[in-house]
Amino acid sequence: MAEHFTKSAARNIFYGGSIFFLVVFALLTVHSHFYIKNVSTDESTLTEAVARGKHVWERHSCINCHALLGEGAYFAPELGNVWVRYGGRENAEGARMGLKAWMRAQPTGVAGRRQMPQFNLTEQELDDLIDFLEWTSRIDTLGWPPNDAG
Amino acid sequence: MKYQTQKLAYPYFVAALALFLVQVLAGVLAGTIYVFPNFLSEAVPFHIVRMIHTNALLVWLLLGYFGASYFLIPEESECEIHSPKLASLQLGIFVFAALAAVVGYLFGIHEGRELLEQPFWIKVLMVIAFLLFIYNVTMTVLKGRKTVVSIVLLLGLWGAAIFFLFAFYNPDNLALDKLYWWWVVHVWVERVWELIMAAMLAFLLIKLTGVDREVIEKWLYVIVGFSLFSGLLGTGHHYYWIGTPEYWHWIGAVFSILEVVPFFAMILWAFYLVYQSGRNHPNKAATLWSLGCPVMAFFGAGILGLMHSFPSINYYTHGTQLTAAHGHLAFYGAYVMLNLAFFTYALPALRGLQPFNQILNMWSFWFMTGAMVFMTLTLAFAGILQTHLQRVLAMGFMQIQSQIELFYWFRLGAGLCFLIGAVLFIYSALGPVREQVTISRYSQSPSQ
């Protein structure tokens, strides 16, 4: 094999193969793009408030403590399903009030417990953020996470 | 050192090592907050510390690649860097952007997307610096000798620049956001950076072993080919639970297995070449790092990554401390060790010295590598326990955290040992030289 397998053969395999896989990856991404828009997420309910809530989430870098759909810092709980964990599917108003109360009560100052900073969100920002988390909980994640604990 | 412009690498390496120290200090601080939750919770909350830890890592690795390119491209191309002025300008812009970012983070100014937290104008400055760099090295390669090492390196650098552009796209739809976020995050670290890694390693192996370039370069093509074939579709293992179609499950699993192949090939390649050459290069520390790098990359990025890439396993382990374990050893093995290998090789030449403080440098190797392996093991144990309690028994997140605190203590200890190793490395690389031997013998050696 050593004699037959030349450097230029290796080079051609490298370029040809790379282009092939890049094209396949790009095509599958295009398909996934439309799948997300039309099947797995509900874009009709992606309101201005949800979009604003996403920016509240980003502005305070929640992802660098919490995880969202399993990605993040794992320092604080998963929030992709926090809406479900707070019982939002059964009692939306209760979940909303619970989440707001929780964020307003921070930091708890309990000794030995991780502290969430007080971000002083306005009523509007709190509502937007919760709308975003509620929308996120309805993304079709193929059954992940395994249970409400996140 | 044969070319004047290779000196351009020196300030890059110094800046990279300074940020390396920032990164490790932020890491130790984050580890401290894990065991003393109220530590600095008002002044520098955890999410800011973590942002500095990850961002400093990415930026210093990039600075290392830039510096390494300026060092190796003149030798590969057999001509001077196209424009030394542009190189200095680029360094200025990049370091300014990095410092501005860190200071901004401390005041809570950021865009808050994990790893892509840099504010818009800093991202723009980074792109400008990147473009200056790409232009500069591409012109140099075009006018000189074109080797496989420099071509593969250029492809990696171009890829890094192009895929970074996806960092500017932030759709309101979270699932779409995540789909393209991985185009930067995965395609960078599991793809184009691997091209850069293989090219830099090939250069080190050519210099350290003196084995025929033809042989090294042929296998370089094979390795980077495999890494691209497996790694592009390997992105699939991040697409399991974010609203993407189910076919990513089997694509992710199959190509994740293949992702191990180039790492294993790199080990065989490095050890075979060093063994075959039988030549004793005076810079033993550089050889140690060059051999350690593919080994730790194989375990950290390859094996630990593979272990929870199967959707059936990932369903339970996704987003636990197991991911943190894998991330730490993967980045350390593949990219930190690679840069430290290159610094160990190039800095004596840049400073006009014989390889010096080698014993100290090798101690730093064992300190850092040992500490990182221990840290990975503790986080892996924590992750396995967490997986069971959280995903099987459905216990609450914070309840579990108090059960696995012991592991966080171990991790903090490992972090402190790593800090000692990092300080030893910086001292051995940049510190005072006790025994300055004349440079003549070293510079005449063909292996330089």
Q: For residue A2, what pLDDT is reported?
A: 52
Chain B residues 92-151 with CB within 8 Å of chain A: 110-114, 117, 148
pLDDT in tens, B21-50: 999 999 999 999 999 998 888 889 999 999
Phi, psi of B14 (to 5 degrees): -65, -45
Predicted confidence band at B335 (pLDDT cuts at 50, 70, 90)? very high
Chain A residues whose CB is inside 8 A of the B240 CB are 142, 144
- Report which DSSP code applies to B309: T
Q: Tokens standing for B372?
A: 């990182």
What mean pLDDT do residues A35-55 have? 97
Best of B239, B241, B400, B403 to substitute, by most chain A Cβ atoms within 10 angstroms, is B241
Q: Which residue shows structure tokens 């919770």?
A: B41
What mean pLDDT do residues B225-236 have? 94
From the list A118, B120, B126, the residue with the least C-alpha distance to B112 is B120
Q: Tokens standing for B384?
A: 């396995």
Which amino acid, one-letter code, is at B250?
A: W
> A140 to each of A20, A41, B157, how far by Cα in Å?
30, 6, 36
Phi, psi of A72 (to 5 degrees): 155, -145
pLDDT in tens, B360-384: 999 999 999 999 999 999 999 999 9
Chain A residues whose CB is inside 8 A of the B320 CB are 74
Q: What is the ipTM of this complex?
A: 0.95
Q: Tokens standing for B263?
A: 């790492």
Establish if B247 belongs to a structural domain: no
**Are the C-beta atoms of residues B357 and B433 closer than 8 Å to each other?**
yes
Size of interface A-B (CB pairs under 8 A): 205
- Report which DSSP code applies to A78: B
**Under an 8 A CB cutoff, do A58 and B113 touch?**
yes
- Report which DSSP code applies to B281: -
Spatial distance between the Cα atoms of B119 and B112, rounded to a whole number of angstroms = 9
Our CA-based measurement puts residue A43 at a distance from the nearest CA of chain B, in whole angstroms, of 8
Half-sphere exposure of B395 (CA within 13 A, CB side): 14
Q: Which among B228, B232, B324 has CB closest to A74?
A: B324
Which amino acid, one-letter code, is at A60?
A: H
Phi-psi region of A109 (alpha: psi -120 to 50; beta: other; left: phi over 0): left
From the list B53, B49, B67, the residue with the least C-alpha distance to B12 is B67
Our CA-based measurement puts residue B128 at a distance from the nearest CA of chain A, in whole angstroms, of 25
Establish if B231 belongs to a structural domain: no
pLDDT in tens, B176-226: 999 999 999 999 988 899 999 999 999 999 999 999 999 899 999 999 999
Phi, psi of A68 (to 5 degrees): -130, 115
Q: For residue B315, what pLDDT is reported?
A: 97
Establish if B151 belongs to a structural domain: no
Establish if B1 belongs to a structural domain: yes
**Under an 8 A CB cutoff, do A74 and B321 touch?**
yes
Number of domains in chain B: 1
B439 pLDDT higher than 50: no
**Under an 8 A CB cutoff, do A10 and B321 touch?**
no
Q: For residue A28, what pLDDT is reported?
A: 98
When computed from its CA atoms, the radius of gyration of chain B, rounded to whole angstroms, is: 21
CATH at B98: 1.20.120
In a 3-state reduction of DSSP, which class is residue B290?
helix
> A87 to each of A40, A94, A139, A148, B369, how far by Cα in Å?
22, 8, 17, 10, 46
Our CA-based measurement puts residue A45 at a distance from the nearest CA of chain B, in whole angstroms, of 11
* Residue predicted with more confidence, B242 or A1: B242
Phi-psi region of B98 (alpha: psi -120 to 50; beta: other; left: phi over 0): alpha
Spatial distance between the Cα atoms of B9 and B78, rounded to a whole number of angstroms = 16
Compute the C-alpha angle B336/B341/B343, nearest 5°.
95
Predicted confidence band at B435 (pLDDT cuts at 50, 70, 90)? low
3-state SS string over B57-120?
HHHHHHHHHHHHHHHHHHHHHCCCCCCHHHHHHHHHHHHHHHHHHHHHHHCCCCCCCCCCCCCH
Establish if B416 belongs to a structural domain: no
Establish if B397 belongs to a structural domain: no
Q: Tokens standing for B86?
A: 């542009």
Q: For residue B113, what pLDDT is reported?
A: 94
> B223 to each of B21, B197, B198, B261, how far by Cα in Å?
32, 11, 8, 8
**Under an 8 A CB cutoff, do A24 and B232 touch?**
yes
- Residue A145, preceding peptide bond in cis (omega within 30° of 0): yes
Q: Tell me how far the alpha carbon of residue B358 is from its chain's centroid.
A: 23
Residue in A closest to B236 by C-alpha = A25
Predicted confidence band at B356 (pLDDT cuts at 50, 70, 90)? confident
B396 pLDDT higher than 90: yes
**Under an 8 A CB cutoff, do A40 and B396 touch?**
no
Which amino acid, one-letter code, is at B329?
A: L
- Report which DSSP code applies to B156: H
Spatial distance between the Cα atoms of B39 and B252, rounded to a whole number of angstroms = 40
Establish if B61 belongs to a structural domain: yes
Our CA-based measurement puts residue B96 at a distance from the nearest CA of chain A, in whole angstroms, of 23
Would you tell me the crossing angle of helices B337-350 and B46-77 to the nearest 10 degrees? 50
- Is B41 an interface residue toward A (CB < 8 Å)? yes
| Contacts of the segment B26-33: beta carbons below 8 A, 24+ positions apart | B26/B50, B26/B52, B26/B53, B26/B56, B27/B53, B27/B415, B27/B418, B28/B412, B28/B415, B28/B416, B28/B418, B28/B419, B31/B408, B31/B411, B31/B412, B31/B415, B32/B412, B33/A114
Spatial distance between the Cα atoms of B383 and B321, rounded to a whole number of angstroms = 4
**Are the C-beta atoms of residues B235 and B186 closer than 8 Å to each other?**
yes
Establish if B113 belongs to a structural domain: yes
Chain A residues whose CB is inside 8 A of the B252 CB are none
Predicted confidence band at B434 (pLDDT cuts at 50, 70, 90)? low
Our CA-based measurement puts residue A76 at a distance from the nearest CA of chain B, in whole angstroms, of 7
Spatial distance between the Cα atoms of B433 and B442, rounded to a whole number of angstroms = 16
**Under an 8 A CB cutoff, do A139 and B38 touch?**
no
Q: For residue B1, what pLDDT is reported?
A: 81
Q: For residue B172, what pLDDT is reported?
A: 97
Spatial distance between the Cα atoms of A123 and A33, rounded to a whole number of angstroms = 33
Residues of the domain holding B40: 1-145
> B201 to each of B91, B179, B193, B212, B342, how far by Cα in Å?
23, 31, 12, 15, 8
Which amino acid, one-letter code, is at B120?
A: F
Q: Which among B46, B110, B247 has CB closest to A75?
A: B46
Q: For residue A110, what pLDDT is reported?
A: 86
**Are the C-beta atoms of residues B15 and B63 closer than 8 Å to each other?**
yes
Q: Tell me how far the alpha carbon of residue B176 is from its chain's centroid.
A: 27
- Is B78 an interface residue toward A (CB < 8 Å)? no
pLDDT in tens, A74-108: 999 999 999 999 999 999 999 999 999 999 999 98
